[in-house]
Chains A and B, each alone.
Chain A
Amino acid sequence: MTAPADKIAVERLTAIFGKTEVLRSVTTSIPAMSVTAIIGPSGCGKSTFLRCLNRMHELTPGARVEGSILLDGQDVQGRDVDPVHLRRRVGMVFQRPNPFPTMSVLDNVSSGLRLNGIKGDHQATVEQCLRQAALWDEVKDRLRAPAISLSGGQQQRLCIARALAVAPEVLLMDEPTSALDPIATAKVEDLIHELKARYTIVIVTHNMQQAARVSDQTAFLYMGELVEVGATEQIFTNPREPRTEDYVTGKFG
């Protein structure tokens, strides 16, 4: 794959809950093997944007989507696209760590494979994913322990490992560190750096420093509209839009 090709192209994406438009005609693209951060004040539609990319948005009753989202040129909203397949290609990590409480550390990581009916010994995959999630050394001696016995930061990295195990191409992260302490946050941010060599990452964050630290490209959403998108450095040092400047300099939000 040639390096900075667009993995995802979003065109005039409008997302609706009942009668409210949460996103209005958003057009942008997400380059492959890079980190794209979505920033903006609470309620601006950041999470909704993310959840449109793997069609989790449509699970909410009353939710609708207009416009198109192309993944490798194919419309993910297409009639012939099974959202279940799509979600294996586009993985997701949530705000709060949500390991399956009835499963061990090991079973959590392999859960995506097992639940998708992939039989066999997943030990090797589990180890590889836990290593990628920088968690292996901490849990290798207690793979059989219940997942909820881990600390919050470990649980979140476990959830990342779980998402990696189904071998996605894109990884969506919805404020993945908002429930973590600073040390755990730093570990997850380091991890994001490592992961972008293999995955296309889209991360929603309300923390601008985090966006500046981890991302290559940043998009600023405000009240459902995409105000500006560009290289992270440019957005934070030399924004074109006054609203972006106000936001990144902390004048509102």
Chain B
Amino acid sequence: MPILEAKQITKYFHEPETVQVLKGVDISVEQGEFLSIVGKSGCGKSTLLYILSTMDTDYEGTLNIKGEKLNGWSQNQLARFRNENLGFVFQFHFLLPEFTALRNVMMPALKLGKYSYAEIEQRAIDKLRMVEMDGFAHKMASKLSGGQQQRVAIARALINDPAIIMGDEPTGNLDKVNSQRVFEIFQELARQNHQTIITVTHDQDFAAGSDRIIVMSDGQIVQE
């Protein structure tokens, strides 16, 4: 059974005029798969990702993640679901600038409240070590470089051991060396932890290294 299955995803943008951005997209992802979605700007790949992420609920079609049909859930229910099951890495790093790297990583776990404070702290340090950022744990997020911030953001995405990690151009803002580092982390997650990776990317090398590539054009999947 696929870990994520979306059927006939259709979406319109109404501003400034009504445009159909997604035209009945079907997509199914297995556990442990490293999937890249590529395509030209405006083809609807990011839009699709945000629908799959449960953050965008304004669409037609059905979405199942981990066997749960998520259509019709309230925003708060979806927030709890994301907290436990999904991790995000964005193009811009989106750390909370007033907090330390460690605190940023701990935040989703504190929200989940599954572990004690001490355990969460230990887990956060482990995740930071995985992305080789444990030396910067007590630095303010705003004091870190772009590549460092992105790695902290990945550690944050991993803190609750989510089934699926989603990335929206996770290397879009990074240089060659840092991009390579991020790619390696993702590959390791898929291979060793059997976590599912879904990324939207423009980076040819990044996409080429993933298990599966989906090419989108004009709101449809044109090539697998």
- Decide if A and B are genuine partners: no
Q: What is the interface of chain A, defined by CB distance below 8 A to chain B? A: none
